[in-house]
Chain A
Amino acid sequence: MIEILESGPFNTVQDLGRPGYRDIGVSASGAMDPLAVRIGNILVGNDENAAVVEVQTFPFRLRFERRIAFAITGADGNPHLDGSERLAWCAYVAEPGQVLELKQPPRLARSYVALGGGLDIPVVMGSRSTSLRGGFGGNAGRPLAKGDRIAIGEDAEIAMLPATGLAVVEPATALSDVFPAPVDGVLPIRALPAGEHELFTKDGEAFWSQTWRISSRSDRTGYRLSGEPIKPVASIEMRSHGVVPGVIQVPPGGEPIVQMSDANTAGGYPKIAGVIESDLWRLGQARIGARLSFVRSTHAEARAVEQAVARYVDDVRRTSRMVKRALKAMA
């Protein structure tokens, strides 16, 4: 068990999502930074899709009620265990009664708490993710709150974890050749032109060339962007059609909306572009007020980035197991 001692609003249980039910209007949900979830779970010896805590409002504190492995991934702040600083992106063993605290990270938006054995929560429609709009899944369909106690699955690999911890080079560093760093504080996000891009002609170029800011009216459903409005050459009426995370729609006001993890399942606004899937975690870690620009990408580039990410995850999975086994053998 873990007990939540302190939590801001909208901190939820998430996994890699609930695909396959859009046709009946169920959003996929899932973590805003799925790469952080996968790496955190690998470090503590879980299946990559095990349920974790997504923390997006800080500070967040929990108490461990039994000996357990944990890893904090995602954001750029370091966790504290009983007041002592620990590394992020590193798996440790906590003792019963110890308190984990996550403070506001310096730049990024979301931290993930992966626990050895995963959060033991009923699977609803193939996932343990919380659907806040639907009010189901995760922690009884609602955010975590002070006093909540959550069961943890059996931690089969805790004995394999070295006493000094086991860390990884985080994706932003390990994959810096495929994820360009922000330039003058502007995060480059790659996207592909989408169905109604041609409707925007000149303003379409303005979409790619200007710097957008993530507005305060943004959440896990969508990021609303502030900037110079872009308008289609003709107003058209579109029938509502399916949308997925990453789709960038332009409502009549001309300020784009990027669909995120809790994306609507359908919408009627014209789509100017779609963020490539491999860049969505970077957007998920961008905070309200952050600046970004869209970089026109290609299918080939999107595929190359996807393959680089897959190689990184495979390397972390294989190497972390190998290191654990080698250390155990030499102990």
Chain B
Amino acid sequence: MSAIDFSDPATIALLTQALTAAGVDGLEISRPGAQLRIVISGEGEARISATEAAPRAPRATQTVVTAPMAGRFCVEHPAASAVPQNLPRSQSVADILGFIRVGDVLLPLRADPSGVMTRLLAAPGALVGYGDPLFEIRFPS
């Protein structure tokens, strides 16, 4: 679902109409970087103020990559020579974070969306179950 654009005059007019029709006094919506306030007066007139805050550094949020199925958690490909895992490190959607190994079959794990891997949440080589947390990824909101 795409986000509603609260700076769009047509959207504001629609919201005002809806509030008036519903007999609601007003509405205030705050989102990072913007605030919209609509107050319906007694005569059915509306006072509208929309402010756009100065752009600020995007707030980092995080997601957790979980195991898509049970298996052995591998941070490196079994054929790769082991390299130290320096964290945090950037991961794009194309990068492979690690694998779930079942016998000699490997299920690649990816970051979606791209972000910064900050923590390993399972021990390399550990047996994990479906839904177990594996990586913490922080990404710009």
Give the one of B68, B99, B107 with max A CB within 10 A: B107
Contact B79 A173 (CB under 8 A): yes
Give the distance to chain B from A147, nearest Cβ to Cβ, in Å: 31
The answer to the question of A152 belonging to the interface, with a C-beta cut-off of 8 Å to chain B, is no
Contact A330 B69 (CB under 8 A): yes
Hey, which chain A residues are within 8 Å of B77, CB to CB? 87
Give the distance to chain B from A164, nearest Cβ to Cβ, in Å: 5
Chain A: number of interface residues, binned into ranges:
20 to 34
Q: Which of A15-56 contact B (CB under 8 A)?
A: none
Q: Which of A146-185 contact B (CB under 8 A)?
A: 162, 164-170, 172-174
Give the distance to chain B from A74, nearest Cβ to Cβ, in Å: 14
Contact A316 B107 (CB under 8 A): no
Q: Which of B55-83 contact A (CB under 8 A)?
A: 68-69, 77-79
Of the residues A172, A173, A322, contact of B102 by C-beta under 8 Å: A322
Give the distance to chain A from B101, nearest Cβ to Cβ, in Å: 7
CA distance A231 to B106 in the complex (A): 49
Contact A87 B96 (CB under 8 A): yes
Hey, which chain B residues are within 8 Å of A316, CB to CB? 103-105
Of the residues B79, B104, B108, B130, contact of A315 by C-beta under 8 Å: B104
CA distance A85 to B95 in the complex (A): 9
Of the residues A165, A312, A319, A330, contact of B68 by C-beta under 8 Å: A330
CA distance A84 to B77 in the complex (A): 18
Q: Which of A205-224 contact B (CB under 8 A)?
A: none
Q: Which of A55-109 contact B (CB under 8 A)?
A: 84-85, 87, 90
Give the distance to chain B from A309, nearest Cβ to Cβ, in Å: 12
CA distance A315 to B68 in the complex (A): 20
Hey, which chain B residues are within 8 Å of A315, CB to CB? 103-104
Hey, which chain A residues are within 8 Å of B109, CB to CB? 164
Contacts A326-B69, A330-B68, A330-B69 known; A166 to B104 CB distance under 8 Å?
no
The answer to the question of B14 belonging to the interface, with a C-beta cut-off of 8 Å to chain A, is no
The answer to the question of B110 belonging to the interface, with a C-beta cut-off of 8 Å to chain A, is yes
Give the one of B94, B102, B130 with max A CB within 10 A: B102
Chain B: number of interface residues, binned into ranges:
10 to 19
Of the residues B79, B101, B107, B130, contact of A170 by C-beta under 8 Å: B79
CA distance A90 to B106 in the complex (A): 8
Hey, which chain B residues are within 8 Å of A172, CB to CB? 79
Hey, which chain B residues are within 8 Å of A320, CB to CB? 105
Contact B108 A169 (CB under 8 A): no
Of the residues A165, A174, A322, contact of B104 by C-beta under 8 Å: A174
Contacts A165-B108, A326-B69, A327-B69 known; A319 to B103 CB distance under 8 Å?
yes
Hey, which chain B residues are within 8 Å of A84, CB to CB? 94
CA distance A191 to B28 in the complex (A): 82
Hey, which chain A residues are within 8 Å of B101, CB to CB? 169
Contact A319 B102 (CB under 8 A): yes
The answer to the question of A233 belonging to the interface, with a C-beta cut-off of 8 Å to chain B, is no
Give the distance to chain A from B24, nearest Cβ to Cβ, in Å: 42
Contact B105 A166 (CB under 8 A): yes
Interface code B118-135, partner A: CB below 8 Å = 1, 0 otherwise?
000000000000100000
Q: Which of A271-323 contact B (CB under 8 A)?
A: 312, 315-316, 319-320, 322-323
CA distance A172 to B78 in the complex (A): 11
Contact B110 A168 (CB under 8 A): no
Name which residue of chain B comes closest to A85, CB basis. Answer: B94
Contact A167 B94 (CB under 8 A): no
Of the residues A85, A167, A327, contact of B108 by C-beta under 8 Å: A167
* Residues of B that sit less than 8 Å from A by CB: 68-69, 77-79, 94, 96, 99, 101-110, 130
> Can you name 11 extra interface pairs (CB under 8 A) apart from A168-B106, A169-B105, A173-B78?
A162-B107, A167-B106, A169-B104, A172-B79, A173-B79, A174-B104, A315-B104, A319-B102, A320-B105, A322-B102, A330-B130
A-B CB contact pairs (8 Å), 5 listed: A166-B107, A167-B99, A319-B102, A320-B105, A323-B102
5 interchain residue pairs of minimum CB distance: A167-B106, A319-B103, A173-B79, A319-B105, A169-B104
